[in-house]
Chains A and B, each alone.
Chain A
Amino acid sequence: MRFDSIRFRIRILYSLVLGIILVIYSGILYFSLSYTLHEDLDSQLALKAHKIVAVMQNYLKTSENNHNSLLNLIKNSIEKNDADPCFDNMKTLRFQEIANLTLKRDFISISSPSGKILGGSYNTANNVIPILLKQKGISIFNNTTFSTVKLPENLLRIISVPFPSNGKKEYFIHVGTSLKPITKLLHREKILIIVDIVIVLLVTSFIGQFFVSRILKPVKEMAITADKITRKSLSARVESTHLDYEMQHLVDSINSMINRLEKAFKHIANFSLDVSHELKTPLAIMRSESEFALIKERSHKEYQSVLQSNLDQIQRMKKLVDDLLLLAKVDHEIEVFTFEKLELCGFLKKLYEKEKMLAAEKKINIEFETSIDTVFVSADTLHLRRLFINLLANAIKFTPLGGKIGITVKQTAEIAYIAISDTGIGINQEELDRIFERFYRTEEADETAEPGSGLGLCLALSIVKVHNGKIDVESTVGKGSTFTIALPTMVL
């Protein structure tokens, strides 16, 4: 067991808290028991003493009896026996009530207020009363008192009661009893309590350890699972059955984190695969074509065509690298964008003039249509131009000879809508969901057309997002597609 472990610390803390509670609780129990026992003893002593006093006072009420005869009577009866105080012979003398008190083991003594013994039971060893006075630090008895006298081998609890109780206090009746039974009982109780506490602490400590181990088990499993996870193996998950709510939550969090990691790694792996595919394709073309040209002597025109083709491929690679860099910037370095106020209609009109010429080569007619004069947006002109050029290039690419492309601008209170529609081949529903994915390519309209990089629409989406806009696409296979871009307008 490690001393810096949670398990150890919880166990110690748990035992400590329980120990303190048990000690306090047992202490209260012990002292209240002790108090009750002493109280009980005192009240028994008082009962006995007062009974004796009452009987004696009764005795004196008879005219022929006087103090001397009473003293003699008592002396005779309590000193007669060499064992316990005995009032047996007093039964006949109306001392029945005293006899009924169980005075065995008790001691009775009668003294003057100054402690002079006038008589006492044998078991008192007559010097108890002076010791009592000495221990109390007084010279005479005054009133009813309770005292504890420490004898070499015993503790005595004594009640001293004046007699007669009313009027002049001529004598004191002392009734005492040994505290040994009580101290014995309390001592036994004390040991019992200590043993109990130790046993309870040991047992709870082990039970605590068991529970803590059970609670911490998922933590151990998480560590084992985490150890298993490497870049190549992200399939491990933490077992999540029979868990406490908090642990369940933690385990779920960790599992979903691993899920995200796995997705991210997969995404990176796919991305790398796609990138290398797109970069290697032009390389493969250039190598194959150059090698083919070099197999034998070729004509001047053939060499020229190979060089031209190589240039095209170099251009293609450059574009791909540029697109990739731009994509990385759009996604991770938004600060490369510089936003300024841009008048959208004029901006699009310029683009339209330019694209009109390109489209004319394919005999495609582009129309620009808007009912508004000016609409302002906050935009990065360079990237926004890139976005519309990409969309228009796509429209031209997928629209057959003699087709039509329309650019329309509309505006609501806060949003400018730019729609680019074509009469091209259209996109089926299945593909519509995927065209904005990186490197997703659809089949070319023309079999001789060079495939795009698959990044165009992905970039378009990213650029629109940076502008807080939205891009939507609607398409009917065979009829054409419409890409609609919504951009928030600038409040002037």
Chain B
Amino acid sequence: MKNILIIDDEPKIREIYNKLLTEHGFKVFDAFNVRIAHKILMEEKIDLVLLDIKMPIVDGVSIFSLLKNSYENVKVIVTSVYSLEEQKKHIEGASDYFDKSQSIDKLLKKIAAVLND
């Protein structure tokens, strides 16, 4: 079973993605800030992080560099409501990018592709 960590400040997004991914057989963790995310990353063996960009205090950009530095094996799909183009401008080098206003089917496909890679 693959472990997925959702880092997003929007409680509704965390709730929905949590339910969705759990239904699809993943073990899901979620964090609304860097502190909690860090704690989970240390305690659990996370395979994939779904990372939001715009968050208060410490944003996705900073968390991404933290992940790249300390957890290089963890794959990251950037999930934001920014357009994909804008997301790539903010964060370079993620495994994939997902626009949260798109269909959740697409998200599932991207997750499957990234994890099978």
Q: Which residues of A contact B (CB under 8 A)?
A: 273, 276-277, 280-281, 283-285, 287-289, 291-292, 295, 309, 313, 431, 441-444, 447-451
Contact = CB atoms under 8 A, between A and B. Distances in A.
Interface string B83-95: 0001000000000
Given A281-B81, A284-B101, A443-B33, 5 more contacts: A276-B81, A277-B82, A289-B12, A295-B23, A442-B57
Given A273-B82, A280-B81, A450-B11, A288 B104 contact: yes
B105 interface: yes
Contacts of B68: none
A276 B80 CA distance: 12
B11 A292 contact: no
Contacts of A281: 10, 13, 81, 100
A313 B12 CA distance: 10
A285 B56 contact: no
Interface in B39-79: 54, 56-57
B92 to A, nearest CB: 18
Nearest to B23: A295
Interface residues of B, number: 25
Count chain B CB atoms within 10 A of each CB in A276, A442, A443 and give the residue with the most. A443
A287 B81 contact: no
Contact of A285 (B13, B32, B54, B80): B13
Given A292-B16, A292-B19, A448 B101 contact: no
16 contacts: A273-B82, A277-B81, A281-B100, A283-B81, A283-B101, A284-B101, A291-B105, A292-B16, A295-B23, A441-B56, A442-B56, A442-B57, A443-B32, A447-B11, A449-B11, A450-B12
A288 B17 contact: yes
A313 B101 CA distance: 13
Contact of A287 (B11, B33, B103): B103
Contacts of B115: none
B96 interface: no
B68 to A, nearest CB: 23
A425 to B, nearest CB: 12
B12 A444 contact: no
Contacts of A443: 9, 32-33, 56-57
B7 to A, nearest CB: 12
Nearest to A280: B81
B11 A448 contact: yes
A284 B100 contact: yes
Contacts of A441: 56
B105 to A, nearest CB: 7
Contacts of B10: 281, 285, 450-451
A275 to B, nearest CB: 11
A288 B11 contact: no
Nearest to A287: B101
Count chain A CB atoms within 10 A of each CB in B10, B19, B32, B101 and give the residue with the most. B101
A287 B20 CA distance: 13
Interface in B2-34: 9-13, 16-17, 19-20, 23, 32-33
Contacts of B54: 277
Contacts of A288: 13, 16-17, 20, 100, 104
Contact of A292 (B32, B33, B81, B104): B104
A264 to B, nearest CB: 20
A418 B13 CA distance: 38
A197 to B, nearest CB: 68
B63 to A, nearest CB: 13
Nearest to B101: A284
Contacts of A449: 11
Contacts of B103: 287, 291
Contacts of B13: 281, 284-285, 288
Contacts of B105: 291
Contacts of A444: 9, 32, 56
Nearest to A443: B56
A155 to B, nearest CB: 95
A115 to B, nearest CB: 113
A283 B104 CA distance: 13
A11 B92 CA distance: 58
Contacts of A285: 10, 12-13, 16
A283 to B, nearest CB: 5
B48 to A, nearest CB: 18
Count chain B CB atoms within 10 A of each CB in A276, A283, A451 and give the residue with the most. A451
A171 B103 CA distance: 135
Nearest to B57: A443
A285 to B, nearest CB: 5
Contacts of B17: 288
Contacts of B19: 292
Nearest to A442: B56
A292 B33 CA distance: 25
Count chain B CB atoms within 10 A of each CB in A284, A443, A449 and give the residue with the most. A284
A308 to B, nearest CB: 12
A221 to B, nearest CB: 32
Contacts of A447: 11, 32
A302 to B, nearest CB: 10
Count chain B CB atoms within 10 A of each CB in A276, A285, A441 and give the residue with the most. A285
B100 A280 contact: yes
B12 A309 contact: yes
Given A292-B19, A443-B9, A284 B33 contact: no
B32 A273 contact: no
Contacts of B9: 443-444, 451
